Structure 1
Amino acid sequence: MIKNSLSSISDVAIFPIISMLIFVSFFVMLGVMVFKADKKYIKHMEEMPLNED
């Protein structure tokens, strides 16, 4: 059933390529955000559960 419906779509091979590009770009952007993050802010958020304020 699924095989027949997918084979009827023209240019169906582009969908896995697009999904892989979205997946890779998301994790690349996430990695850039992590490495560019302010270290003071990360340290502050890390210590918040331990503070008794």
Structure 2
Amino acid sequence: EAVENAMKICYDNCEQPKYGLTFEGAFHGRTLGALSLNRSKSVHRRGFPE
């Protein structure tokens, strides 16, 4: 949830956010917003549309 909230803060304070920064091999959470930023294993995406 921390990643999701950080994304919301960025979206609220940027004119037009286009990019996100993530670290390869890191786990950023299972929320839809966090999953949209990373290329994690398919098991982390289970239940979410692609």
Give the TM-score band, short-chain normalised. under 0.3
Which has the higher Rg, Structure 1 or Structure 2?
A: 1
TM-score (norm 1): 0.26
Larger helix proportion of the pair: 1
Which one scores higher on RCO, CA 8 angstroms, separation ≥ 6? Answer: 2
